[in-house]
């Protein structure tokens, strides 16, 4: 869930993610959430452990749905235009991203999920 769908520079985007574990995980992954432009430049981000660090991925059960919220501040100097939200997970020790798949099991480029667009206006 993205709220709002339009922002002004310096405002905050509220993001709710729904994760479903396919199997037990041995790694305590971190979540990356980025506001990016069409050239993949980052204009806002928050990287954190799921649920504010209260429920690491190592505790997730197969089939469990975890609701995870983030607040992404948009840079105050972000120019007008369309931006996208990219999310995923990575190993905080190696910085290697967890493979991202779509609902059909197809591997996604850059091991990220691109969410809806957000319009930025002055």
What's the domain range around 55?
A: 2-120
What pTM, to 2 d.p., does this model score? 0.89
Strands 42-48 and 6-7: unpaired
- pLDDT confidence of residue 122: 87
- pLDDT confidence of residue 39: 96
Whether the per-residue pLDDT at 3 is higher than 80: the answer is: no
In total, how many domains does the chain have?
1
Q: How many CB atoms lie within 10 A of CB 106?
A: 8
Output the average pLDDT for the chain. Answer: 94
CATH number at residue 13: 2.60.40.2550
Q: What is the pLDDT of residues 54-113, one digit of tens each?
A: 999 999 999 999 999 999 999 999 999 999 999 999 999 999 999 998 888 889 989 999
- pLDDT confidence of residue 54: 95
Nearest residue to 86 (alpha-carbon basis) of 118, 63, 64 = 118
């Amino acid at each position: 869930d993205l709220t709002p769908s339009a922002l002004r520079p310096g405002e905050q985007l509220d993001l709710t993610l729904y994760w479903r574990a396919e199997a037990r995980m041995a790694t305590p992954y971190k979540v990356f959430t980025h506001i990016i432009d069409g050239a993949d430049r980052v204009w806002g981000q928050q990287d954190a452990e799921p649920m504010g660090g209260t429920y690491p991925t190592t505790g997730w059960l197969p089939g469990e749905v975890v609701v995870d919220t983030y607040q992404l501040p948009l840079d105050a100097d972000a120019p007008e235009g369309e931006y996208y939200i990219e999310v995923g997970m990575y190993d905080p020790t190696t910085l290697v991203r967890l493979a991202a798949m779509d609902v059909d099991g197809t591997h996604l480029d850059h091991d990220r999920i691109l969410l809806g667009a957000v319009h930025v206006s002055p």
